[in-house]
Structure 1
Amino acid sequence: MKTSQKIFKVLNPILIVIVLGIAYLAIAYYSMLNYAFKEHPTVAFTPGAEFFYSRQADANSEPQTPPFRYVVLGDSTSVGQGAKVQADNYSSQYAQLVLLKKYPAIKIYNLAVSGAKTKDVLSKQVQAAIALEPNLIMLSIGANDVTGLTGAEEFQRNYTMILQQLTRTNAKIVLLNIPAFSTSPLLWEPYRSAAHYQAGKFNQIIEAIAATEPSIRVVDIYRGTEPDFRRFPKLNFSQDHFHPSSAGYAVWTRVIAQTLN
């Protein structure tokens, strides 16, 4: 009897800590979801958007030469979620800032879908991209694999298969790695640290896969945007405190331009 009482005295505080820990994690999780999706939701842009940019005075007129075909793949960051208007996404900003200096006309096909993981890009976006015969492909994927607890082996397998198919095209391929979750005001601990760690791990996988294809360029969004987002979170994050704002996508665009040029 005395032995069982001693065991109970030892276990009782441990059980209390475990229960409180589980309760905290649950409260944190649902508080984050409620803030981002109910209290401060961002505009849900329609997938499959197309944008046309031209140096001509009338941007709507037909170009004299076929436009440069620019295909964007990935998740909500490629869609532009969090921006005031979808044309503030990084792909449109990059087209206007950089590509129009080199090409008289640009046609962007944005095939990205909010919430997409690597498995979704592989099954639903890759073949559509190949069919468009693009000159440039930009891919930003992996954040939802982090938050959705995709295993490292599955992530590596999916990402490898995506690139195996995309490299069969004649397009220049640019990969944007996963941004730093540590800067997000939305995430509570320990979710923030866990997501930040996993993003870093997945980014190492992206680097290793890309290294097998010398023609592929990797833009380090993780390190390149972190200082600005950490220093000016109110400016660079949208109202959901998770996705970039229009200003935040301008930071992404600057990092992309600096890397590629």
Structure 2
Amino acid sequence: MSRPRRRATFVAIGTSAAIGTAALGTAAVVGRSLVLRRRTAGVSELADKIPEHSAYWRDQRRKGGELLYVALGDSAAQGIGGSRPNRSYVGLLAKTIRAASGRTVRVANLSQSGARLRDAIEKQVPALAKLSPDIVTVSIGANDIASFERDRFERELRYILDALPATAIVADLPSFYLGEFERRVLAANEIVRRVAAEHGYAVAPLHSTTRGRTAARTALRDVAKDFFHPNDRGYAVWASAFEPLVRAAVGALVTRPRA
């Protein structure tokens, strides 16, 4: 994969827009040119991590476990920006499932860096259909915000949610903080919550959880070198939006006999 293609992948990643907005506000304080230089270097460095993270999750999928946790999503589920792949919110939630259940956990992380709804439909949903998961988390759609079209977003989201088990946990989109992208996120999240409610899915409040972090604090503490993706602190924030619902799902599983 050439460097321009890797960079395009990151530009498409929706979560980057949210944190990038905050970073530009911080730039007024710490110096715009310094932030932009660091961002450019960070984009390149993290793009080089994509194959490493993908390989890690492929390896995890091949391992055994008493419980199967399946994740659908994009680069945030892959853990781009974290110090290690397992420091993504998916890795943190897998740890929560192990601790809460007392059982071993196999993780099938079906996410793809840069994935949009249509990518999940084409690749992740067919892969999910071949599995029998105990717990499923879904965080997808942020990469659709740059070209957001309400009807298309709802149509594609419905296709994905139609394919999920009844116990799936669906996250709304993270906060983009300011401007037109945040307005689009609010419109998209109305769709996410409404369609999830129609299906009876629990909704992880990712938007309110990330919105609760001030823009300056997010830019300075919770993001990686590209000022786009979460770092380890940021992924802990993401995981906290899912954890109460994941623990409740585990509670419903522990009464089942071990395989």
TM-score normalised according to structure 2 size? 0.72
The residue that corresponds to 2:54 in the other structure is 47
Higher helix share: 2
Which secondary structure does the structure 2 equivalent of 1:175 belong to?
Answer: strand
Distance 1:71 1:199 in 2: 25
Stretches of structure 2 lacking an aligned partner (at least 5 in a row) = 1-23, 25-32, 249-259
Q: What percent of counterpart residues are identical?
A: 25
Distance 2:239 2:58 in 1: 18
Does the Cα contact within 8 Å between 2:206 and 2:241 map onto a contact in 1? Answer: yes
User: Which of 1 and 2 has higher RCO (CA within 8 Å, sep 6+)?
Assistant: 2
Over 3 Å counting, the alpha-carbon distance change for 1:101 and 1:127 in structure 2 is: same
1:200 to 183, 186, 192: 186
Q: Does 1:247 align with 2:249?
A: no
1:59-70 equivalences in 2 (<5 Å): 66-70=65-69
**After TM superposition, which residue ranges in structure 1, 4 or more long, deviate above 4 angstroms?**
34-37, 50-53
Task: Please report how far the alpha carbon of residue 172 of structure 1 lies from its aligned counterpart in structure 2 after TM superposition.
Answer: 2.3
Task: Please report how far the alpha carbon of residue 35 of structure 1 lies from its aligned counterpart in structure 2 after TM superposition.
Answer: 5.8
Task: Please report how far the alpha carbon of residue 50 of structure 1 lies from its aligned counterpart in structure 2 after TM superposition.
Answer: 4.5
- Higher radius of gyration, 1 or 2: 1
* Coordinate RMSD, CA, aligned: 2.5
1:80-119 equivalences in 2 (<5 Å): 80-119=79-118
Does the Cα contact within 8 Å between 2:97 and 2:105 map onto a contact in 1? Answer: no
Deviations 1:121-165 (A, max 9, x none): 011111101212111111111111002x03110110001011112
Over 3 Å counting, the alpha-carbon distance change for 1:245 and 1:111 in structure 2 is: same
Does the Cα contact within 8 Å between 2:53 and 2:85 map onto a contact in 1? Answer: no
Q: Does 1:258 align with 2:244?
A: yes
Distance 1:36 1:195 in 2: 23
Task: Please report how far the alpha carbon of residue 179 of structure 1 lies from its aligned counterpart in structure 2 after TM superposition.
Answer: 0.5
Q: Does 1:232 align with 2:227?
A: no
Stretches of structure 1 lacking an aligned partner (at least 5 in a row) = 1-27, 54-61, 183-191
Distance 2:38 2:152 in 1: 28
The residue that corresponds to 1:164 in the other structure is 162
Distance 1:244 1:88 in 2: 10
Distance 1:81 1:177 in 2: 19
Distance 2:197 2:213 in 1: 27
Alignment-mate amino acid for residue 73 of structure 1: L
Task: Please report how far the alpha carbon of residue 229 of structure 1 lies from its aligned counterpart in structure 2 after TM superposition.
Answer: 5.2
Distance 1:99 1:208 in 2: 31
Deviations 1:172-231 (A, max 9, x none): 20111110111xxxxxxxxx41111101110100001011122x1110100112223535
The residue that corresponds to 2:174 in the other structure is 179
Does the Cα contact within 8 Å between 2:81 and 2:225 map onto a contact in 1? Answer: yes
Alignment-mate amino acid for residue 158 of structure 1: E
Does the Cα contact within 8 Å between 1:90 and 1:253 map onto a contact in 2? Answer: yes
TM-score normalised according to structure 1 size? 0.71
Does the Cα contact within 8 Å between 1:47 and 1:111 map onto a contact in 2? Answer: no
Over 3 Å counting, the alpha-carbon distance change for 1:195 and 1:129 in structure 2 is: same
Give the count of matched residue pairs: 206
